[in-house]
């Protein structure tokens, strides 16, 4: 899977950028080149969908149809989701949200996102803690022009993210594609964390802790994009802005 968002939609921590990308022989690619490479590597069954200059999703079914992990894509009411992995408690979650048994994980994530956005009865971090299984997902809300992404804490599903030539943010489960597309400005997306356009990167396991950038050196001794983890010794004191569109995502910061 592949998603690309312009830097206004998805502004990552500055430490994801590596100055070494400027001097590397492997220069970052444009979003158009990255999408072309993805489709060329999956010539028979891949597709892409673009949203103007804001975002692009590209998807290909799993190569191994007997894989333990699903790869799902769906869209409802201008909300689009790519989901990898599986939720062990999907049936109970569907009942909790009043959804029929025919809904898959990607459909559930869209409904959970929409509930958080519109009504927000629970903090976003608590909703993610209720998900049992191995998973990662990326949601794009075409109406609100926002991105919501998360990766489960068990590290069985892996995402990487990086920075394209124009500053757009690339997210994919294909490490080779990320390396070739983003030069040295890439890193693993941190497990147990979520990203929202309004609030940025945060840990849903430790929602009141600040995120800390950890320097990362590759096998050539070159500084790459940083790893990120929750600094459990720190505390976030900022209160949510009342009435903000992202208020649902900020409830986890309330003291």
Secondary structure of the chain as H, E, C letters: CEEEECCCCCCCCHHHCCCHHHHCCCCCCCHHHHHHHHHHHCCCCCEEEEECCCEEEEECCCCCCCCCCEEEEEEECCEEEEEEEEECCHHHHHHHCCCCCCCCHHHHHHHHHHHHHHCCCCCHHHHHHCCCEEEEEEEEECCCCEEEEEECCCCCCCCEEEECCCCCEEEECCHHHHHHHHCCCEEECCCCEEEECCCEEEECCCCCCEEEEEEEECCCCCEEEEEEEEECCCCCCCCCCCCCCCHHHHHHHCC
Q: State percent of the chain over pLDDT 70.
A: 89
pLDDT in tens, 195-250: 999 989 999 999 999 999 999 998 888 999 999 999 998 887 653 332 344 444 44
CB 195 within 8 A of CB 148: yes
CA atoms within 13 A on the CB side of 45: 7
Is residue 11 situated within a structural domain? yes
Is residue 239 situated within a structural domain? no
Domain interval for residue 186: 2-207
Is residue 200 situated within a structural domain? yes
Is residue 37 situated within a structural domain? yes
Considering only CA atoms, give the Rg of the chain.
18
For the chain, the average pLDDT equals: 89
What's the pLDDT at 220?
Answer: 84
Domain count, the chain: 1
Is residue 33 situated within a structural domain? yes
Is residue 20 situated within a structural domain? yes
pLDDT in tens, 55-92: 999 999 887 665 668 999 999 999 999 999 999 999 99
What's the pLDDT at 66?
Answer: 59
Query: Average pLDDT of 93-99?
Result: 95
Is residue 245 situated within a structural domain? no
Is residue 26 situated within a structural domain? yes
CATH of residue 112's domain is 3.60.20.10
pLDDT in tens, 7-58: 999 999 999 999 999 888 889 999 999 999 999 999 889 999 999 999 999 9
Q: Write phi, then psi, for 107 (nearest 5 degrees).
A: -65, -40
């Amino acid at each position: 899977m592949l998603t690309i968002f312009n830097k206004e939609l998805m502004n990552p921590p500055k430490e994801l950028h590596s100055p070494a990308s400027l001097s590397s022989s492997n220069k970052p690619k444009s979003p158009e080149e990255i999408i072309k490479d993805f489709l060329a590597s999956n010539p028979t069954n891949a597709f892409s969908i673009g949203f103007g200059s804001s975002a692009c999703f590209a998807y290909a079914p799993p190569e191994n149809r007997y894989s333990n992990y699903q790869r799902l894509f769906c869209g409802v009411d201008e909300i689009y989701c790519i989901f990898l992995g599986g939720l062990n408690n999907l049936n109970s979650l569907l009942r909790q949200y009043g959804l029929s048994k025919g809904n898959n994980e990607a459909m559930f994530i869209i409904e959970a996102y929409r509930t958080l956005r519109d009504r927000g009865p629970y903090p976003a971090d608590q909703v993610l803690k209720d998900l049992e299984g191995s998973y990662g997902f990326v949601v794009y809300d075409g109406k609100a022009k926002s991105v919501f992404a998360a990766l489960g804490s068990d590290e069985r599903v892996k995402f990487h993210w990086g920075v394209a030539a124009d500053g757009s943010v690339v997210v994919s489960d294909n490490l080779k594609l990320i390396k070739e597309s983003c030069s040295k400005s890439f890193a693993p997306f941190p497990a147990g964390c979520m990203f929202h356009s309004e609030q940025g990167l945060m840990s849903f396991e430790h929602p009141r802790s600040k995120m800390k950038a950890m320097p990362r050196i590759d096998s050539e001794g070159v500084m790459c994009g940083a790893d990120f983890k929750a600094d459990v010794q720190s505390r976030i004191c900022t209160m949510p802005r009342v009435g903000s569109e992202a208020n649902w995502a900020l409830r986890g910061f309330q003291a």
